[in-house]
């Protein structure tokens, strides 16, 4: 996809926002690490990562809400829990979700719904974080192997690439084929709606009308373009649904302004783990490696880093 973007726009030099001193740094978000969480404080251009938060147990899968107020996690005994940080700021509180089954975890764009997947077995959790309800699991194995999944904010829809084709599943498990191009590698719902974005190595589309007759609109690219050697591993939208952001396995980042159609590119210089929303236009790209994580701010087009704070400090500047 980056190779397609590069034919449409000239990559510019990214300007990193000026670091600003923080007094009582704001919460930037939480970072899964070592089977628990670390707090990231400050602002994207001037933040730091705190020590591991204590919980008395080690978690398996951890998915952090874009709001930074909670995380969804699995325990060693197979429970799914909501994690919140106690008032002391150093320990975690867990609340089990009755009826939830273990598996891979992901959250909807705003974090109000979660999805647990284990092969073709899918379960939606709604009412996050305060009143979580685990819905009955859905068996989608008859559709074929799963290669990408997304859940809408209301939890009404699961979208996935099943056996190479894109389908949407309602709460009753009924599958609706969607008009997506072949070769979709990543999916993302728009914030607060049932509209869906999908990307291949050469094209990005928006799919609407999941509750009726689905229609597809090309946002960027051309289905007739030569196949790309590299395809995006993740796609997401900014909180205002104004920008689509894509990332490739080599760290290439593409961004589409949905109002103007303008396309920009960047590179994180990292091994990306995905596009994990931190609220607004900011996404976490990597895990903690070599003492820092990489962020991308779609508002400024900047690739930033947040370092691990020196022992005994909290917050701070880069």
**pLDDT for the residue numbered 311:** 67
What is the Cα–Cα distance from 100 to 82, expressed in whole angstroms? 11
Q: Which residues contact 10 (CB under 8 A, 6 or more apart)?
A: none
What is the Cα–Cα distance from 70 to 92, expressed in whole angstroms? 10
Full set of structural domains in the chain with CATH: 2-307 (2.130.10.10)
Closest C-alpha to 124, from 146, 147, 149: 149
**pLDDT for the residue numbered 317:** 32
> Where does residue 7 fall: left (phi above 0), alpha (psi -120 to 50 degrees), or beta otherwise?
alpha
**pLDDT for the residue numbered 222:** 87
CA 271 to mean position of chain CA atoms: 16
Q: What is the pLDDT along the chain (318 residues), one digit of tens a residue?
A: 665 554 444 333 333 333 333 346 788 889 999 899 999 998 888 889 999 998 788 999 999 999 888 999 999 999 999 999 998 889 999 999 999 999 999 999 999 999 999 989 999 999 999 999 999 999 999 999 999 999 999 999 999 999 999 999 998 889 999 999 999 999 999 999 999 999 999 999 999 999 899 999 999 998 888 878 789 999 999 999 999 999 999 999 999 999 999 999 999 999 999 999 999 999 999 999 778 999 999 999 999 999 998 865 544 333
């Amino acid at each position: 996809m980056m190779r397609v973007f590069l034919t449409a726009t000239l990559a510019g030099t990214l300007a990193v926002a000026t670091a600003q001193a923080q007094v009582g740094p704001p919460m930037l978000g939480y970072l899964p690490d070592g089977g628990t969480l670390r707090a990231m404080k400050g602002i994207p251009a001037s933040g730091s990562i705190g020590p591991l938060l204590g919980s008395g147990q080690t978690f398996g899968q951890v998915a952090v809400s874009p709001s930074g107020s909670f995380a969804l996690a699995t325990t060693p005994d197979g429970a799914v829990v909501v994690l919140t940080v106690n008032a002391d700021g150093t320990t975690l509180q867990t609340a089990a979700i009755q009826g939830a089954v273990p598996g891979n975890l992901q959250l909807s764009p705003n974090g109000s719904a979660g999805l647990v997947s284990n092969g073709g077995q899918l379960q939606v959790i709604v009412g996050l974080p305060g009143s979580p309800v685990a819905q009955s699991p859905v068996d989608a194995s008859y559709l074929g192997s799963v290669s990408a999944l997304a859940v809408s904010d209301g939890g009404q829809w699961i979208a996935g690439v099943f056996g190479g084709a894109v389908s949407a599943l309602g709460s009753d498990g009924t599958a609706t084929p969607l008009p997506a191009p072949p070769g979709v590698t990543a999916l993302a719902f728009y914030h607060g709606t049932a509209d869906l974005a999908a990307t291949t190595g050469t094209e990005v589309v928006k799919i609407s009308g999941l509750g009726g007759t689905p229609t597809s609109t090309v946002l960027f690219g051309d289905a007739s373009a030569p196949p790309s050697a590299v395809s995006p591993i993740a796609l997401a939208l900014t909180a205002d649904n104004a920008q689509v952001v894509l990332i490739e396995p080599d760290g290439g980042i593409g961004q589409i302004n949905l109002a103007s159609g303008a396309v920009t590119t960047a590179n994180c210089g990292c091994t990306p783990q995905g596009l994990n929303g931190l609220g607004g236009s900011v996404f976490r790209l990597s895990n903690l490696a070599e003492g820092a994580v990489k962020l991308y701010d779609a508002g400024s087009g900047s690739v930033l880093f947040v370092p691990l704070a020196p022992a005994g400090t909290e917050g701070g500047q880069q």
